[in-house]
Each structure stands twice: as C-alpha cells, then as structure tokens.
Chain A
Amino acid sequence: MSKENFLEVQGLKKYFDVGRQSFFSRQSRSLHAVDGVDFVLQRSEVIALVGESGCGKSTLALLLMGLEDPSDGKVIFQGSDITHLNDVQRKDLRRKIQMVFQDPYESLNPTQTIEEIVTEPLLVHGMADTSDREERVKKAMEDSGLKPAEVYLKRFPHELSGGQRQRVVIAAALVLEPEIILADEPVSMLDVSIRAEIINLLAELRITRQIAVIFITHDLGSVGFFADRVAVMYLGRIVEIGTMLEVLEKPQHPYTKALISVIPVPNPRLRHERIILQGETPNPIDIPKGCRFHPRCPAALEMCNASDPPFVNLSKTHQAACLLLVK
C-alpha cells in the first residue's frame, strides 16, 4: 500500500426495522436510512456531506461515531477496521473521533459549569489526574476562542450566547486532541452574523491541529471556502462527490444541479431560473426502483426506472451516479 487512506467508508448501510405494514402481512419492512455509502477522507481534509432531511446524513454521522451499529459495510480508520468494536476499543477510539452537534442549547448539560463540561472528557478517559489537566482544559478553551479561559470556567451554559456555547462544545471535543471532528449542522441554529466565526474556527483547527473535519449540512451555500470536497446525498446514498469547485461550479447530477439552483444568492442582480423539484424526498421505507431520484428528476428518461445507476468517473476526483452520464 503506497498511500493509506486516513478514514475509509465502504458500502456502509443502516436499516431500521419498522415492523409489518399491516397485521396480516408477513413481510417486515425496513427503513433504509443509509443505503451503501462509500467515501474516503485524508488527514486534515474537510469533506462536506450535503443533503436534505431524510437523506441519511445524520444516521451516517451516528454510524461513523459508533453510536449506531451498521447493518452492513465497513469503516476503516488508519488501516484498521473499526466497524465492530468492543466497549474498550470503542472508548479508546472516541479520543480520536469527536463530534460537534447542531444545537448548542441542547447539547450542554444545564447543571454543569463550563469547566466541568470541558473537563468531563478527560475524566471519562482517566486523564483527569494528570498534572496538566488544567493546562489542557485552558488550551482547548482558548483554541476554541474562549479567551481568557478563566472568565468562562465557572459559568453555566445559560450565561453564554449561542456562539459561545458552540465554542464550548468544540472545546470539549478538542480537549481529547482528536484527529477527526464530525460536525453535524454546527451553525444552523446560530445567527447569520456569528456563523462565520464557528466555520472559520473549524477551518483554523484543521490547519493548526491537523484535524480532519466531516461537515454535515443541508446548506450547500455554507460549504464553499471551507470544504475541500463535497458529497451530495439523496435517500441514503451519495449521488455526487467531488472537489468543492467541481461540485459547486460544474455539478453533473440532476439533483445537485437542482439543489444548487435553489440556493438563494445574496444579490438581486443575479436572480436566476431555479430548478424547483416537485414533491418531497420519498419515504426511505419505499425506495423507488431503478435510480432512486428518477420520480423527481427533471431529466429522467425511461431507462432510469429500470436500473440503479453506477458511479461515473468525471475526473480523478469527481464522480456522480446518473445514467445520463454513462457514455
């Protein structure tokens, strides 16, 4: 192996059993939340997973964190399979992969002080007794922009603003010195004027601390500048993946094209035709046959309901799963 991938996801699937359709039917049905996802991630790379609600991006995050068990597929981290681990191995791995959640109001325990929150990961991993505990906590907080740390240590979450709370969540992740941060919609609950500071903070950390970031969002608009690569998900699968510029400037999959066309551009002189898809993402219990996007696809042909499209290589880094691209 010349170059080992830092993190590799192979055919990852997660089905949830949702019970039988009716009392009399025999077949039990399942919800295909994640239905075969592959991608790789390099050290200190930022990949954005983009999709609408119901596309499986949040389930994918829980799978990568080991908070849900996959139904099938593999996750390989630094050459070793981490798909199924026992509790001890999992706990060890947690130090390397940390998560930042969407809602900074909900993801902090209201009864703990900021110091307790940021120290807690050290406590859990038996690293709290070392003499440098305070140093570590302060460094994590100041690296997250909570400067000077002393001002915040004794406060409670409700005394902080939304942006500051999200910084506390990031500090609690940083204190374990992780190598990957999984950020699930980290700015969607924040005011527009302070979103950039959280995104810029994550962008800074990948450089100063060599942290790779998996950035999960429904807002394609917010991934520019920050992401190296973008993966667009629809109904449990990646339908297009490429570098940020490839996906944003030369989208190939009809879904990506539509998604990009409806993102509002903050300039009234650039008002343009929007490709508005009708209806909503189908229920992941009844996945359409053939290409799963064909019932809503403005470019669908007859063949699209017959076969599941393979990934087509558009460049070394750019792939999309659409029959129209097969030459």
Chain B
Amino acid sequence: MEIKPVVASSSANFWQTYRKSKMGVVGLALLAAIIFVAVFAPWIAPYDPKSSEGISSNAIYNPPSAEHWFGTDDAGRDVFSSFVYGARVSLIVGFFASFISVVIGGTIGIVAGYYGGQVESALMRFTDTMLVIPDLPLIVVIVALTKPSLLNIIFVIGIFGWTTTARMVRSQTLAVKSRKFVLRARAIGAGRGHIIRRHILPLVMPILVVQAVLVVSVAVLNESTLSFLGLGDPTALSWGQMLNYAFSRGAMSTGAWWALFAPGLGIIWVVLGLTLLGQGLEQVLNPRLNTHHLVPGQPVVQKEAGETPKAETLLEVQNLSINYINEGKLPARAVENVSFTLKQGELIGLVGESGCGKTTLMLALLRLLPSAGQIVNGHVFFNGRDLTALSEEEINAVRWKDVSIVFQGAMNALNPVRTVGDQIAEAIIKHMPDTKHDQRLQNRVIELLELVGIAADHKDNYPHQYSGGMRQRAMIAMALACNPQIIIADEPTTALDVMIQAQILELLDSLRKKLGLAIIFVTHDLGVVAEMCDKVLVMYGGVTAEYADVDVIYNNPQHPYTQELLKAFPDLTKPKKKLSSIPGYPPRLEALPAGCRFAPRCPVAIARCHTEQPAIHKLADGHIVSCHLIEAAK
C-alpha cells in the first residue's frame, strides 16, 4: 500500500493560512501591541496616575510636550499614563465579559441545537426575546441601580452579549449533528455528553473563537459608554472614564483635545484590531472563504498543425493535451495526448475512475475549462472546423447549438427558483432569439418535454417537484433544445437507482436512433458502457490506456488496466466469481509517476514501466493501447 508522508502539524498549518490574510496580521499586531502596553503598564507609564507625585497646579490641561506625550488632564496628571493604565481596565472588562457571554451563548446554542424539540424552541424563543430588548439602555438601567463596581459591569455586559453567539452556535450545531459521524458515534454507543464533547464542540469551536473576538470589541465599547455616562467604577480608570472626566471637566471648552484624543485612540485601536483579527480568523477557520490559487484566463497554445480530419467523422480529437497552471509549481498535466473520433449516430464511452481527466477532457472540447486550465496541444475538429482555433464568439456559437452537455447531478444544474419549462425556454432563446415572444417557443418546450417522456402539464413545475429521474430527463430536454449533433453526457446516471438509470439509458438510446445524435458517454460504470456504447476510450491518470470497439475492450482487452478493471467489476452472469481489486490508488496530478502512470498499480509492470512513458501503439484498425508490454510482444 502506498504510504503518504505525514503532513505538518495543524498549528503550523493554521499560521500558514492565517498569514495569507493581511488584515488579520495587522489586527493581530495592533492587538498584541495594546495587550503588551496593558500588561507592562507600570513599566511603560512614566507616572502613576493614582499618586499625586510630580503634579503642579500650573500643569492643568497642558498640551502634549516631551515631558507629557499626550498632555495633562484637569488635575494635571499625565494623560499618556492614564491611557496606559486605562488599557488594562478596558481590556479586562472586554475579555471577561466576552468570556461570560460566549460561555452562555455557546451552552444555549449547543443545547438547543443538539437536543431539538421543545428544549430548542423554548431556548430559541428566549434568545429571540433577549435579542429584541435594546440591551444598552437595559445595561445602563441595571448598572445605575446596582453598585457601579467593575465586577458588576463585567457581569451585566456579559449577560447581555450572548444572543448572536447562541444563534450562530445553534445553526452550526444543527449542521454538525446531521453529519454521519455523529450518527456513527451514536451507533458505537456514545451518549449525549460524549458526542457533544468529542464531536460537536471541536467543530463549533471555530465559531466560538471568532465570536469571542467580536464580542470583546462590543464589550469594550459598552464599558466605555457606561463609563462615559458616569456609570463606571470610579476606582478603576478606564478609557470611558477618561472621556467622562475630560468631558465633564471642561476639556472641550478649554480646547484640550488631547484629553479626549488619547482614550478615543485607545478604543478605536482595540476595536479595529479585534475586527481585523476576527476577519483573519474567519479566513482560516471557514474553509469556504479560502481562495484557491489558480491563474485566470489561458489561451490555447498550439505546437503543431493538425492532420486533416477524415471526411466522414463528425468529431475528431487529435492528441489533445490539457494542463492546469499551478502558481509557483510545474503545471499539472491533467490530460495528455488523447485522440478519438466520433461519427454521426455513434456512442462512445469514456471510462475512467475519479480524477482520471474525463471531465477535463469533455470541458476542453467546448473550451469550457476552469480558468487555470489550458489546452497546450492538439486539435478538436468538428465537421472539419478546428474548435481550438476559433475565437471566443465563434466557439460560443458552437456551444449548445452543435454540441451540448448533460451534467451529472441534475438538482444542482437546475435553478431551483425557476420552472423547468422556463429553463428549457431559456436554452432555446439563447440560440434562436427570434422565437422569444412567440407561441413557437412554448410549443417547442412542450415538444422537447414530450421527447424526453415528460407530460406537458409538468412544464410549469419547479425542479423540486420533479423526481430525480424526471430532473435528469429535463436536463436532457435542455441539451436537445437547439438540435445539437453531439451530446456529451457526463455521468448522467451516477446518482440514480438502477431502474431509473435503465430508463434514462433507454431514453438516450432512443434519442440517438430517432435524432441521429452522436453521444459521448462519460462514466465509471463498465456495465453501462457494455450495454450502450459502440466504442470505448479507457482513460487512466489523464492518458489513454486503451481505445477500441466495445467488443474488443470486453473480450480482448490488451492494457493491464482494462483487464484489471474488468476483474474488479461485478458480473451478474458469474455470481460466484470472486472480485479482485486493483491495489493502491489512482495517481494525483501533482505527483504523477515518472514512467507509465499505471505502473505503480500494474501487476505485470517491468522495470522500464517505472522510468519511461509508454508510446501509443496502434494494434488493429482503431485499437490503440499505450503499454510497454505491447511493444515487447510485437
């Protein structure tokens, strides 16, 4: 079995990702600086604001100077020293209040989310009620009625700051709870406490951390407001308290802006730092926000001129190679040197496991590759025209009108808020705009629906009102909208039950006979290919393993991969046959083997297979195999 290297520890990964968020780094730096100031206040502050040492009566509201960086206040005290000590009080209130509210909110959120039912509705209604109460006025009233001590302020702010946390934690808990590993833990016999501790909490933690950071800034602001209103702890000099004193003792009228500037700066500094930190953390902890490192927009690169395609072929793909550009690394060779032809009414099966490049190849035919994908060699001739040489407008006219695609997973490919008929009509209008306000359009929609076996009265239904099989039929109707000559069916039956699969296959086969369609059928299911196709292209790791008529592939396969794949596939006509698997796993694009891409898993590989890529050998007419052993046998 292949042994992959163990990746670096997760904390190293965390920092790696975090560093990418520039704002997050700035936030962390801002916060680290102010925390440093708060912790080492006695060493940083030039004066002790509580002692009266060094105060002279003519020092009232002195402007900033070398001696007093932020000037002096109404009592002649050094504003910078007050600022430094104030950071302590403000941050203590912020962090402790945030801790309290996150504990309350987290507990309520997890309990409501995990237990559900009446517990949940009771807790969430309570949360909603708390949410609509304007908390600041209430905090003001409560603090005014109780003793204005720091401890009281911390508790009151903490107790009113948990509602958003509770809601976010609840929805995250619900999401985690529905995941299969929670069901598995229950199946093991784990109780609620164990599941919450081991499975829910670790996945809710990221939200709690981000939330805690954001709540700290709310708490700092709330404390400042309270103190500014004169409700702060008179014995603890916070930034809010400084504002209060400056304001009520004539700093404004004497023009002593510095007395207001210093605490204001502190508050903005902390809130800004926390917000940026929260954003950075979210970047790391929410993988969906991670941007991928792909370079956009790659034109086709052509190395050599193609051969003139044969007259009778509808589609001729010659030596097509596709790379994915990888920032700072070698390009990933997703598809290399693939050739095949398709005649009118022909059905070709494109077989391979996940990650073998089948979808990339199909998308490249219509030049629909994701931004990092690039055709680096080869030609795609459609009716004698080279699609790789067309301009963007020209290829756009080919898409859907001449070649259309039926995607895998019909539910995701249909727009849930528009009727199916509407979506089919849209496909028609795009290429036949003159039908837009016509009865012809509606007639065509009905005609298409009936062609795929959907009664016309389902035209105005929404996708969710369709069953899985009907949705896939609707996708086929959409693909047929502009009378294409080729349909690319990308795993059209993969998520469907066998009976529905049989219905869809029958439909495709009848359409091919009725309309003379050529179909490229992309699948990993060898059975379906044997039932349906005329020719088969077996791909492995982005290259052609074998290409031949369907009978040859199943009854005289030459490539070891084809042979092994057939042994692994269950055959109902031989129920007693033991299945064999192919040891190991398909290669990853970023770590392709040096020689034949199948060599590491090949049971008959020779030394040469590991060092040298095999050439493509033409055996008989239309039978292509890429394997060193074929050459040796010749």
Identify the stretch in A4-12, A71-79, A102-110 within 8 Å (CB) of chain B at 4 or more residues. A102-110
Interfacial chain B residues near A222, Cβ < 8 Å = 570
Contacts of A280 in B (CB 8 A): 467-469, 499-500
CB-CB under 8 A for A193 and B198, given A95-B189, A225-B579, A264-B530: no
A267 touches B554 (CB 8 A): yes
Q: Verify if B185 is at the interface (C-beta below 8 Å from A).
A: yes
Q: Which B-chain residue is minimally distant from A147 (CB atoms)?
A: B1
Smallest distance from the beta carbon of A202 to chain B beta carbons, Å? 12
B414 to chain A, nearest CB (A): 18
CB-based contact B530/A219 at 8 Å: no
Chain A nearest Cβ from B627, distance in angstroms: 17
Q: Mark B568-586, 1 if CB is under 8 A from A, else 0.
A: 1111111111111111011
Does B514 have its Cβ within 8 Å of any Cβ on chain A? no
Is B4 an interface residue, CB under 8 A from the partner?
Answer: yes
Min CB gap B333→A, angstroms: 21
What A residues does B181 contact at CB under 8 A?
Answer: 106-109
| Given A107-B180, A154-B6, also A220-B581 (CB < 8 A) | no
A224–B577 CA distance with the chains assembled, in angstroms:
8
Interfacial chain B residues near A67, Cβ < 8 Å: 183, 186-187
Given A95-B189, A264-B531, are A193 and B202 neighbors across the interface (CB < 8 Å)?
no
Tell me which residues across on chain A come within 8 A of B524, comparing CB atoms. Answer: 191-192
Collect the chain A residues with CB atoms within 8 Å of residue B498's CB: 52, 218-220, 259, 262-263
- Indicate with 1 or 0, residue by residue over B286-330, a CB within 8 angstroms of chain A CB atoms: 000000000000000000000000000000000000000000000
Cβ of A172 under 8 Å from chain B: yes
B residues 127-177 with Cβ under 8 Å of A?
Answer: none
B564 proximity list for chain A (CB < 8 A): 193
A65 touches B187 (CB 8 A): yes
Is B179's beta carbon under 8 Å from chain A? yes
Comparing B211-219, B260-268, B425-433, B501-509, the segment that makes contact with chain A is B501-509
Distance in angstroms between the alpha carbons of A87 and B186 in the assembled complex: 12
Contact code string B534-567 (vs A, CB < 8 Å = 1, else 0)? 0000000000000000110011000000001110
Q: Which residues on A sit within 8 Å (CB–CB) of B577?
A: 224-225
> How distant is A256 from chain B, measured CB to nearest CB, in Å?
12
In residues 68-113 of chain A, which contact B (Cβ within 8 Å)?
87, 90-91, 94-95, 98-99, 101-103, 106-112
Across-interface contacts of A169 in B (CB, < 8 A): 184
Total of A-B residue pairs, C-beta within 8 Å: 202
Of the candidate stretches A28-36, A243-251, A298-306, the one touching chain B is A243-251
Which residue, B188, B524, B526, has most C-beta atoms of chain A within 10 A?
B188
Q: Of the candidates B183, B184, B576, which one forms a contact with A224 in the assembled complex, judged by CB atoms under 8 Å apart?
A: B576
Q: Which of A13-21, A37-45, A130-138, A269-277 has 4 or more CB atoms under 8 Å from chain B?
A: A269-277
Instruction: Decide: B497 and A111 in contact? CB cutoff 8 A.
Output: no
Contact A269/B526 with A200-B581, A259-B498 known, Cβ cut-off 8 Å: no
Contact A265/B353 with A99-B184, A191-B524 known, Cβ cut-off 8 Å: no
> What is the CA–CA distance of A101 and B1 in the complex, to the nearest angstrom?
23
CA–CA, A147 to B583, complex, Å?
13
A38 to chain B, nearest CB (A): 23
Which residues of chain A are near B368, meaning CB under 8 Å? none
Report Cα–Cα, A244/B572, bound state, in Å.
Answer: 11
Known interface pairs A106-B179, A107-B181. Does A196 touch B580 (Cβ–Cβ under 8 Å)?
Answer: yes
**Does A285 make an interface contact (CB < 8 A)?**
no
* Across-interface contacts of A278 in B (CB, < 8 A): 503
Name the residue on A nearest B5 (C-beta): A159
**B191 CB contacts on chain A under 8 angstroms:** 87, 91, 124
A208 to chain B, nearest CB (A): 16
Return the contact of B6 from the options A155, A200, A219, A248 (Cβ within 8 A).
A155
- Using known A-B contacts A169-B184, A225-B578, A249-B575, determine if residue A159 contacts B189 with beta carbons closer than 8 Å: no
Q: Which of A172, A196, A263 contacts B579 (CB 8 A)?
A: A196
**Min CB–CB distance A198 → chain B (angstroms):** 8
| Also in contact, A101 and B180, with CB within 8 A (given A196-B579, A267-B530) | yes
User: Of B199, B499, B580, B581, which is in contact with the most chain A CB atoms at under 10 Å from its CB?
Assistant: B499
Is B527 engaged at the interface, CB distance under 8 Å to the other chain? Answer: yes
Contacts A94-B188, A262-B498 hold; do A276 and B503 have CB atoms under 8 A apart?
yes
* Chain B positions 473-512 with a Cβ under 8 Å from a chain A Cβ: 497-503, 506
Is A297 close to B, CB under 8 A? no
* 270-327 of chain A: CB within 8 A of chain B: 270-271, 274, 276-278, 280
Whether A267 pairs with B573 at a CB distance below 8 angstroms is yes
Nearest residue (CB) in A for B186 is: A67
Q: Is B183's CB under 8 angstroms from A265's CB? A: no
Q: Beyond the given A106-B180, A274-B506, A280-B500, could you list 11 further A-B residue pairs with CB under 8 A, ordered by the A residue number? A: A91-B189, A98-B188, A107-B184, A159-B4, A172-B184, A197-B581, A224-B577, A258-B499, A263-B572, A264-B530, A280-B499
- Give me 24 A-to-B residue pairs in the complex whose CB atoms sit less than 8 angstroms apart, sorted by A's number: A52-B498, A52-B499, A67-B183, A67-B187, A87-B191, A91-B191, A109-B198, A109-B203, A110-B203, A112-B202, A159-B4, A161-B585, A191-B353, A193-B581, A193-B586, A194-B568, A218-B498, A224-B574, A225-B578, A264-B525, A264-B526, A264-B530, A276-B506, A280-B469
